Each structure stands twice: as C-alpha cells, then as structure tokens.
Chains A and B, each alone.
Chain A
Amino acid sequence: TQLLEQSPQFLSIQEGENLTVYCNSSSVFSSLQWYRQEPGEGPVLLVTVVTGGEVKKLKRLTFQFGDARKDSSLHITAAQPGDTGLYLCAVQGGSEKLVFGKGTKLTVNP
C-alpha cells in the first residue's frame, strides 16, 4: 500500500489553463513537501508545508496542507510550458528518509 497517493497520474493541458493535483494519505504528517522533477534532472524542492490549513504561494503555484494534515494540493494558475514536469509530494519517513508519492506527470502544451 502506497503511503502517499497522488492524482491524477498524468495530466496534459494547454498553456493558460488552470490545474490542481492532489496528494492524499490516511496518515497524519508533521510536514509535507512538494518537488518538481524535470526530465534528466533530480527533484527540486518547491515548498514545505507544516501547519494544518496552511496555504503557501510561489508565483503561480498555490500549495495547501489539509486541516487534518493528511493531504495536500497544488494548484497552478495559467500554466506555462515551463511548468512541465513530474510533481512529487513527500514526507519524512524517519531520519533523512523521504517517502515519495508516485507523482503527477504534467505536460503543458504551447
């Protein structure tokens, strides 16, 4: 059983559209991280959310941590081709061990 379930698995949209991807679990977490991985590269940390209900914004990206700290969402406004990549959520699974969801592969077409 996967600790973190991400949906959708694949998403292909046109430039300028909005989208939301989800990261869900039945477990409670003290914090949750979102990464973006571009082809041929390693994941890059976008944000860490810590408080239940917390909303963080990074330019056109809005991250929300669920009130119960079991789930999180990432909303992208007016997507651009540069947003293309694999979006991963992750939680700490014990000292230095990150546990990742399987990711949402986003393609933004010009």
Chain B
Amino acid sequence: KAGVTQTPRYLIKTRGQQVTLSCSPISGHRSVSWYQQTPGQGLQFLFEYFSETQRNKGNFPGRFSGRQFSNSRSEMNVSTLELGDSALYLCASSFRTSTYTDTQYFGPGTRLTVL
C-alpha cells in the first residue's frame, strides 16, 4: 500500500506571495490532517478534513486554509506569506468514521522557505 505523498517536497517563496501544498492520503483513508513543524514551536496542528469538511482547526491565522476533494486528496494554502511561515508542513491521513479513529500516518512533508 502506498504511503502518504506530499508535493512539492521543497518550495522557496518570497514574502507576500501565496503557496499551495498538496497531500494524497493512503488509499481508503478519508481523514487528512495538516501540521506545521518549526524548530521553535515543534509540531502544531493546523486543521483536519474528513469527507470534504473541515472538522477541527488549530490556532492559526486565517491566512492558512485548506480543502479536501471527493477523492480525499487535500490541499492547504497559505496567503500573504511571512518569514515566520518557513517550516516543514506535514500531512497525515487516517481511517476514520464518526465513531472510530485509527492511527495517523504522516507523509514526508513539504519544506517551505520564505525569503
């Protein structure tokens, strides 16, 4: 079974630009969560999507947004990039129903550098 894939793996942008990151979950997984990892703050939860609906959101500004498609693939978007947005963005997928939550499997991440 193929793992979680994220594209692109590396990205360099300048302040003020916007960026879109993509995540393809493990086949059959319908939940996709996004995390930001920085040396100072560690891993922090951004949001979770399940069946194309955002189910949970972390404490990040509205510049961070996401969506999920009918095939469970997900994208996250960051608008008006700031230097502090430089981070590793990780996507995790899991098999989830309304009453059952399984293990989250992480992708390799997208390394975003904002200059």
Contact = CB atoms under 8 A, between A and B. Distances in A.
Interface residues of A, number: 21
B84 to A, nearest CB: 17
- Residues of A contacting B: mostly: loop
A88 interface: yes
Interface stretch (B14-22, B64-72, B74-82, B101-109): B101-109
B31 interface: yes
Contacts of A43: 43, 90, 106
Interface in A52-110: 88, 90, 92-103
Interface of B: 4, 31, 33, 35, 41-45, 48, 50, 55-56, 58, 90, 92, 94, 96, 101, 103-109
Interface of A: 40-45, 48, 88, 90, 92-103
